[in-house]
Amino acid sequence: MSNEGFVEYTPEGKPPRTWDFFLTIFLLLLLLILTGVFVILGFGLSVATLGCADSGACNYLVISIGTLIVMIGTPVVALAGIVVSVVWIARRKRSWLIALIACVLSVGVFALGTTLVNLAVPA
């Protein structure tokens, strides 16, 4: 019984692509910075409830869900992007695409959460 079908071999003569490695590291650092900024801004989303003090027209459940999406969703996207990028670096695939997609998804999750909070507070 052999394990040849289950083991993925990397070619010995194939040198690592340094531009791919450095671009991936740069994008992952950008992703970590974005995640930190978005989590800090997520704490500030609770300030949106100050406009609800005079009227009862605010939807507090939607505000809570939007805030949680920002504060939990962006770190989850960042963690998944980092793990998949490191695996792709080890397998010598183009890993910078994964880091770029994770950055775009992080911005999208932040936009979704802030849109929910803004919709829950009447103008």
- What region does 92 belong to: left with phi over 0, alpha with psi -120 to 50, or beta? left
- Count of structural domains within the chain: 1
10 in any annotated domain? no
- What region does 53 belong to: left with phi over 0, alpha with psi -120 to 50, or beta? alpha
87 in any annotated domain? yes
3 in any annotated domain? no
38 in any annotated domain? yes
82 in any annotated domain? yes
User: Residue 90 to residues 10, 32, 49, 85, 119: CA-CA distances in angstroms?
Assistant: 9, 20, 46, 9, 43
Domain holding 99, by residue range, is 18-120
- What pLDDT digit, counting tens, does each position of 69-80 carry? 999 999 999 999
pLDDT at 56: 75
Whole-number mean pLDDT of the chain?
Answer: 86
Q: Which of 37, 39, 55 is nearest to 120 (CA)?
A: 55
**Whole-structure pTM value:** 0.82
43 in any annotated domain? yes
